[in-house]
Amino acid sequence: MELGATEFAFSLKTRVGDEPATNPEELLGAAHAGCFAMSLANECENNGTAAESLQVKAAIHLVQQSDGFRIPRVDLHVTGRVPGVDAARFVQLATVAEAGCLVSRLFDAEIVLTAELEKA
C-alpha cells in the first residue's frame, strides 16, 4: 500500500503475530491521534487559550471474536500545556474535541479519553 511518499507492507502476522511492522490498526490510531490533536488545538484557540503543546497517544484494542476481528475500544491519552487553563477546563475542552473529532465518529467502539494538563 502507498500512502503519500510512504509504502507499507501488510500481512496477518503484522496484525496479530510477533512480526514487527506497521499494521492498519496502528495507522488508524495515528489518524485518530492526529485528528483529535487538531480538534483539541482548535477548541483551545476558540477558548482564547492557544495550546503550547499537545501530545496525543491512541491505543487501538483489536480483539478476535467468533465472527472475526473488531475494535471494541480506543484509548486516547492527551498531555497538554495550555496557559490560562486549569485541569478541569482542559478536560472539558478535550471532551468537546473528542466529540467533534471526525475519526472518533468513524469508530463503533468505546473511546476512553484521559486528559492531563502540564503546568505552563
Mean pLDDT, rounded, for 19-35: 88
> Which among 35, 51, 60, 52 has a CA at the least distance from the CA of 93?
51
Cell digits of residue 14: 503484522
Question: End-to-end CA distance of the chain, in Å?
Answer: 41
Q: DSSP secondary structure string, the chain?
A: -EETTEE----HHHHHSS--S--HHHHHHHHHHHHHHHHHHHHHHHTT---SEEEEEEEEEEEEETTEEEEEEEEEEEEEE-TT--HHHHHHHHHHHHHH-HHHHH--SEEEEEEEEPP-
pTM of the complete model: 0.86
Residues in the chain: 120
* Boundaries of every domain in the chain: 23-117
Cell digits of residue 75: 484509548
42 within 8 A of 97, measured Cβ to Cβ:
yes
Fold of domain 23-117: GMP Synthetase; Chain A, domain 3 (3.30.300)
Structure-model confidence comparison of residues 64 and 11, the more confident one:
64
Mean pLDDT, rounded, for 12-40: 85
Q: Taking 80 as the threshold, does the pLDDT of residue 15 lie above it?
A: no
> Which among 113, 48, 47, 120 has a CA at the least distance from the CA of 74?
113
* pLDDT of 14: 66
